[in-house]
Structure formats: structure tokens, C-alpha cells
Copies of this chain bind each other. A is one copy, B any other.
Amino acid sequence: MIKVGIIGASGYTGAELARILCNHPEVEISVATSRQYAGHPISDIFQNLKGKINIICENLPVDELCQRADIFFTAVPHKTAMDLVPVLLAAGKKVIDLSADFRLRNVEVYEQWYQPHSSSQLLQEAVYGLPELYRQDIAGCRLVANPGCYPTSIILGLAPLLKAGAIQPQTIIADSKSGTSGAGRTALTGTLFCEVHDGFRPYKVGRTHRHTPEIEQELSELAGQPVNVTFTPHLLPIARGILSTVYASLTPGFDIKDIYKLYHEQYAAEPFIRLLEEDVFPATQFVRGSNFCDISFKIDPATQRIIIMSAIDNIVKGASGQAVQNMNIMCGLTETTGLGIVPLFP
């Protein structure tokens, strides 16, 4: 059994790691940390886990922490992660970091959107943990930067098109809608039930959301040229799920058959991508609780724009599920191990 540590077990992504890993046949959660809930069983914080996992949250000095597991998930806020990760790596551990700290390869871009970076030497080494694009690199690395939830949904939706030059990169608009779990478990007025329920609203509109540079970095890489994307996040009155509706102008010469072929070639063998049939569209409720990313698209004949739609569970494929998928790859396990959870509907 591989010993895994969850650093930051009292947030929704930490709890989700516990939910997935407690049924994983090859690993054992050997340590889980939480400052706020040190001394409490994780199943007291997340009553759903009762009877499935008995671990007690601890608040440990990092050197002691290093001795307690072989591989670590850092489910902590950005800035906290950048100080912790180098110590874990120095102790010979593998790390999957769920924060934003190692996702941007350009330190200047990072510091423009966040704050000074204390471990920028690791930015080139960290592998962007989107297995469908970077599986080989993930297999051999010791530090995975687990992608953001919005970026996962947008990049997976666009990758086959950008790689083939089938769309005009400067025309990309991503209109994304996320469930409220993406805002975390910190008590804030804005995410109270009464403020979110039975409502819908955009936020951080117009190049102000911190996932923007991450999306642009990856889309630029795929396109082979700098790409600016207009990205608008919205808050849905649901717990889990992201649905991205992405617009782009087709490159002249590409038709619907070409597009199908591109998606098929890229994704037909992918265990967690489900390409939907024509005129079947993704919905967050059909990926709920699972590691699937559902994708479909449609062409607007009058404008020759393509509309790509992708749906994920933001805390599974958009966070903890993808992190476990990365762990499986890093540890040489079958990539789908422990991730066979069927989406829960209704």
C-alpha cells in the first residue's frame, strides 16, 4: 500500500480526496492535516465520511509530516503551498499540488496575478497535471501542478481544435458557470445559502479572474502562438459542477466532419472523456461526483462559429479526482484505479 498524505483535509477538496481515496485499493491515507480541526476525526467535520475513514486530523511540523507518507496532496491555499512543497520534495516525496502556485511557468505572470513567489525555481520542473495532454511528463515527475477547475473544462474542450488549427485562436470566448463548492468552505457572506440559492450571477468579469493566465498559458501552448481569451465565470446555485460554453470562429476549410474526427482522434481512448453524440449536450448533473469530462459541440451555420460545451464536476475532474488520476500515473498504477465512481443522478 502506498502511503498518502492529505495536507489541508478540512476543505472541500481535502474531503473529496478522502472520499475517493478511502475506496482506492492501492493506497492508504496515512496522515491528514488541518490546523483548525487538529485532533478531530475527519468524519466529524464531514459526517458523510463516517464509517468509511477513521483518520484524525493533525497539525504537524513539516519535517514530521514528511515522514508520514510517500506522496502528498497539498490542498492548501496558494502562497501556503509554495513554502511547503519544496520541503516535501527535498525529503524525497512526490507532490500533487492543488493550489495555483506551480501552474504558471512564467514567474512574472504569476507575480502579476498573485504575489511574490518564494519557490520559482520549481516552476519549470512542475508538470501541468492534465493527463489527457501531459501523461508522459506526469509519469516521470515528482511535482504535479494540478490544474484549476475552470481551466480543465476549457482546455479539454479546445485542445483538439487548437492543435489542429481548426479555430482562430484570437476569437475564443469562454463563458463558464461553476457550482458554489468552487468557492471553498470558508464562511463568507457571499456564499451563504440565502445569497446563492435560486439565483445566478457573473463575477470577476473582464480579465480579472486568476484562472485567466492559466487558461491562456495552456491555450497558447496548444495553439503555438499567444492567445488571449475572454473568460467570464458565473456562480451557479448548485454544489458541484462546471459547464463551460466556449465560442470560436472556425478556420475556413474545416467542416463538421473534420471536427468530429479531431475530437475522436484525441479522445476516443481517453477513459475520462465522454464525447457525446450530435445534438446531445453535456450537463453538470450527469458528471456529478465522477471524474468524467463530457464534451460536445455544435456549429452555428450562419456565423461559422463553433460552440464547444464541456461539463465536469469541479471538485473531481476539476480538482481531487484529477489529482488522484495524476497520483495513479506518478505511481505507475492503472490510471483509472479508484476512479470508477458512477455519476450520481438524480
Contacts and interface: CB of A to CB of B under 8 A. Distances in A.
A245 B232 contact: yes
Contact of A188 (B51, B187, B292, B305): B187
A303 B343 contact: no
A201 B187 CA distance: 19
A206 B300 contact: yes
A212 to B, nearest CB: 9
Contacts of A202: 243, 245, 281-282, 307, 309
A281 to B, nearest CB: 5
Contact of A301 (B175, B197, B207, B311): B207
B197 A238 contact: yes
A302 B238 contact: no
A68 interface: no
A316 B23 CA distance: 18
A346 B309 contact: no
A247 interface: yes
A90 interface: no
A232 B307 contact: yes
A346 B189 contact: no
Contact of A346 (B12, B303, B341): B12
Interface stretch (A41-49, A69-77, A126-134): A41-49
Interface in A265-322: 274, 276, 280-290, 292, 294, 298-303, 305, 307, 309, 311
Contacts of A19: 342, 344
A228 B189 CA distance: 37
Nearest to A242: B200
Contacts of A207: 300-302
A264 interface: no
Nearest to A238: B198
B199 A238 contact: yes
B205 A309 contact: yes
A180 interface: yes
A340 interface: yes
Interface string A11-29: 0100100010011000000
